[in-house]
Structure 1
Amino acid sequence: MNILHVNASDIIGGAARAAYRIHRSLVEHGSALQLKSQMRVISQVSDDPSVIGGPPAGQSALWRRLQPRLAQQARRGFRTGNPTMHSIAWPATGLGSELQARHRQGQIDLLHLHWLGDSTLSIEEIGRLPMPLVWTLHDQWAFCGAEHYTSPPLPGERASSDERFAAGYSPASRPGHESGPDLNRRTWLRKRRAWRRPSRAPIHIICPSTWLAHCARRSDLMADWPITVIPNPIDLIVWSPCDQAQARALLGLPPDRPLVLFGAVGGTADPRKGADLLLEALRRLCTQVAGTPLEPLELVVFGQSRPLQPPALGFPIHYTGRIADDISLRLLYAAADVMVVPSRQEAFGQTASEAHACGTPVVAFATGGLVDIVDDRITGALADPFDPLSLAAAIRWVLEDPQLRLQLGTAARQRAERLWDPARVAGLYGEAYQESLGRPSHVSA
């Protein structure tokens, strides 16, 4: 069976890294399942020969310049208080025609979609694809409007109250923080017209977490589609424990201080990642641990360089900047005593799974995909969403007892081996592919 994965990029960004890991798990373990995997991306960074990069075949240089300008024009006047990325996936890029040609030539038996954005496939191109489709969701965009995540939870909320994806994007459901053209409703209506025609079978949806699958099943667009939960894989050789003292020495971090690690693309800039909640928790923790062995606590932040005005927490903050290689990131996980992932919304939580694979306990809020990663009080701790005081208590619980921390780290590694082993995940995808091929094939318009 020839599988072609489609993603905007191969290794730039969390979704791209997850999609690439799924592809590589099939490259390395798919032969036993009679699967051959390739990946088609617009922006290729790796030199992996199984990845096909570049603009769509036949796309002119003129259209390459014009397409994003037309997309920008279509957004004119739209205003929203939701800080997440918005993608309208219009107009057509031309990749749909290339994929149809590959299918006619026998190069594709099944197409596996991932994170697409505006530059990969338009909504209408997806609707015209004739081959069986599997789609791994890396955020909420596929069943939402243009937004990749619903509005983040407001203060005092345990989850987002933005439920337009469940209500069908009626005009009455539009939130007060939006104005101008209802871009999300327009985008959602285009998805419904393109993807729910009687002539085509539903797309088989794969979600990396129980939370994301629950959202998809409650959505008006995908409620009756096949939805399967398959976690993202992780290379257990690349991501494995190493000596903490050596890791700190190599990174220039203090050898004898409790270290709390936080990281995300953009560091503290993305409100969805909850850096503000972590900083408030650490301010509270700083007061609580005064005069205890945890008083010399320090914070390490990756994904961001030192700002001109770092927050005043009462203890040092080490900024590592953007980490471009897995070895440096593995050393950071090993150097830390605890990894904190205080996200308000997270489809899976890849930094948490990476930390676990490296034998590092994780503290997070009991929300989103992180509930599937952290086994509360076994591999780390889950705090009440989105309570900085509860988060501070969870961090302190992990740090106070060195022996407990070692036990949590050992259990974290064992959990990674049990759940996210690439061979296991490849087998689960093989089952999903067989199920998809067993249903009636898609019919193009």
Structure 2
Amino acid sequence: MKVFQLNYSDINGGAARAAYRIHHALRSSGIDSQMLVNRASAGDWSVQGPTCQWAKVMGRIRPQLAKPLRALLRTGNPIIHSPAIVPSTWPQRLNASDADVVHLHWVQGEMLSIADIGRIRKPIVWTLHDMWAFCGAEHYTDDLRWREGYRPGNRPAHESGFDLNRHTWQRKRRHWRRPMHIVCPSQWLADCVKASALMANWPVSVVPNPLDTGRWCPMEQRLAREMLGLPLEAPLLLFGAMGGGHDPRKGLDLLLAALEQLRAEPNLEDLQLVVFGQLAPREPPELGFPIHYTGHLHDDLSLRALYSAADLLVVPSRQDNLPNTGVEAHACGTPVVAFRTGGLPDIVDHQRTGYLAQPFEPHDLAAGIRWVLADPARRQALGHAARQRAVQLWNPAHVAGLYAEVYRKAIEQTRDRTVHDAYKHVPKCTQNRLNLN
């Protein structure tokens, strides 16, 4: 079986890393997977970037070409919008290839237009890394137009100007006549697909993102802290960059409210915070605890050491799919505290591998942090169970087997649909003769 994986880049961004891991999980299981990208950074021979100078130039500028259209939409929503209007030559290349399956990932606008996706004639499997495929132009949203259909009467009050989301959703409905097989890394996202006005009747499977649990494994905590220059004895709470505070979906305000409550805890006076993904700002915020900034850690070894050094990872998101940070932390034996929302319950087994707080209650998030840190023996047991969960659910061989089954179904469905479409064009008298025989 030959599969082409399409993603805008190979390793830059969360969706890219997930797609790259799926690609290599498949290759390790014997499936001939090739990854096609507009931006190749890994230096991996199994990843193919643009093959000519013109394609390289277009790959860089295509994300900028939709800016004038996005500017017509005025919204208080900071979520990224992708109208996906600029065509490419990818459909011709894919249709002429010997691939058995085309596997799409993060392609919206930066690689393929909406019309491009509709022109692909190969069996399509599409792994969703956000909500864009069944929404309008938005990648995540709190309103329910994706469920009701994008009508003039249900436009949210914070939007004005050109209705880019309705325009984009109508183009999807017009161009995507043939159902694709959708894969969601979390049950939450799969439930959204099934409830959507656009894809409710499409085949949907839940397949988690893989992680090489042989490489992503616990390090001795003291050694990890020495490597990163972190305090050796203090309890360490890890969370992502505070630079994401402009996006309410990330829940930084909820985390800050929880930390405010923990400042008064007599048993947490030694607690220290570790922020990854950014360097210390010019004027660091006063959170009541010492803060260590790691900057951007791009290599797996440094990230593995970071998770191993921490006593727990906090993911305060209001809305998330299956964040790599939570999966990676569990593989390294680190408990995760998060809200019971989105794809976080697919990662955290409440009070077995971490703590799931009630959405979106800062006091319960604080209670979860307190509960994990209060008992060192409990924290160790949580970490051990987290590691076991990672090995069971996210090891590459298991995930590759699930994808192989999805590919077989997609091929069979496309074959059956082709036969059905051909049969419809046969004269009625011939259809009756065939049925009799």
With structure 1 as the length reference, what TM-score do the two structures score?
A: 0.90
Q: 1:81: Cα distance to partner?
A: 1.6
- Cα pair distance change 1:120/1:65, threshold 3 Å: closer
Contact 1:267 1:302 in 2 (8 A): no
2:267 equivalent to 1:271: no
Query: Which residue identity lines up with residue 355 of structure 1 in the other structure?
Result: A
Give the length in aligned residue pairs.
418
Structure 1, gaps ≥5 residues long: 152-161
Q: 1:54: Cα distance to partner?
A: 2.1
Give 2:34's aligned residue: 38
2:156 equivalent to 1:181: no
- Cα pair distance change 1:65/1:304, threshold 3 Å: closer
Q: How does 1:70-89 map to 2 (within 5 A)?
A: 70-89=65-84
Give 2:229's aligned residue: 252
- Cα pair distance change 1:69/1:314, threshold 3 Å: closer
Find the aligned partners of 1:64 and 1:426 in 2 and give their Cα distance. 29
2:5 equivalent to 1:5: yes
Contact 1:210 1:372 in 2 (8 A): yes
- Cα pair distance change 1:65/1:250, threshold 3 Å: closer
Find the aligned partners of 2:164 and 2:241 in 1 and give their Cα distance. 28
Q: 1:65: Cα distance to partner?
A: 7.7
Q: How does 1:209-358 map to 2 (within 5 A)?
A: 209-263=186-240, 266-287=243-264, 289-290=265-266, 292=267, 294-358=268-332
- Cα pair distance change 1:338/1:77, threshold 3 Å: same
Question: In structure 1, the residue corresponding to 2:408 is in which secondary structure?
Answer: helix
The 10-residue stretch of structure 1 (259-268 or 83-92) with the greater mean CA deviation from structure 2: 259-268
Q: 1:60: Cα distance to partner?
A: 8.5
Q: 1:367: Cα distance to partner?
A: 0.2
Q: 1:55: Cα distance to partner?
A: 6.6
Question: In structure 2, the residue corresponding to 1:236 is in which secondary structure?
Answer: coil
Question: In structure 2, the residue corresponding to 1:261 is in which secondary structure?
Answer: strand
Q: How does 1:43-192 map to 2 (within 5 A)?
A: 43-54=39-50, 59=55, 61=57, 67-68=62-63, 70-102=65-97, 106=98, 108-151=99-142, 162-192=143-173
Query: Which residue identity lines up with residue 263 of structure 2 in the other structure?
Result: C
CA distances 1:343-365 after superposition (whole Å, capped 9, x unpaired): 11111121001000000000000
Contact 2:313 2:337 in 1 (8 A): yes
CA distances 1:386-405 after superposition (whole Å, capped 9, x unpaired): 11111000000000000000
Find the aligned partners of 1:407 and 1:303 in 2 and give their Cα distance. 28
With structure 2 as the length reference, what TM-score do the two structures score?
A: 0.92
Give the % identical residues: 57
Find the aligned partners of 2:263 and 2:354 in 1 and give their Cα distance. 20
- Cα pair distance change 1:59/1:349, threshold 3 Å: closer
Contact 2:2 2:101 in 1 (8 A): yes
- Cα pair distance change 1:113/1:68, threshold 3 Å: closer
Q: How does 1:7-26 map to 2 (within 5 A)?
A: 7-26=7-26
Find the aligned partners of 1:434 and 1:252 in 2 and give their Cα distance. 49
Give 1:401's aligned residue: 375
Structure with the greater alpha carbon radius of gyration: 2
- Cα pair distance change 1:261/1:170, threshold 3 Å: same
- Cα pair distance change 1:358/1:267, threshold 3 Å: farther
Find the aligned partners of 2:206 and 2:379 in 1 and give their Cα distance. 30
Find the aligned partners of 1:218 and 1:398 in 2 and give their Cα distance. 36
- Cα pair distance change 1:381/1:206, threshold 3 Å: same
Higher relative contact order (CA 8 A, sep 6+): 1
Find the aligned partners of 2:399 and 2:161 in 1 and give their Cα distance. 44
- Cα pair distance change 1:179/1:259, threshold 3 Å: same
Contact 1:58 1:94 in 2 (8 A): no
2:362 equivalent to 1:367: no
CA distances 1:118-173 after superposition (whole Å, capped 9, x unpaired): 2200000100101000000000000000000013xxxxxxxxxx101001111111
CA distances 1:87-144 after superposition (whole Å, capped 9, x unpaired): 1111202222222232xxx2x1100000113220000010010100000000000000
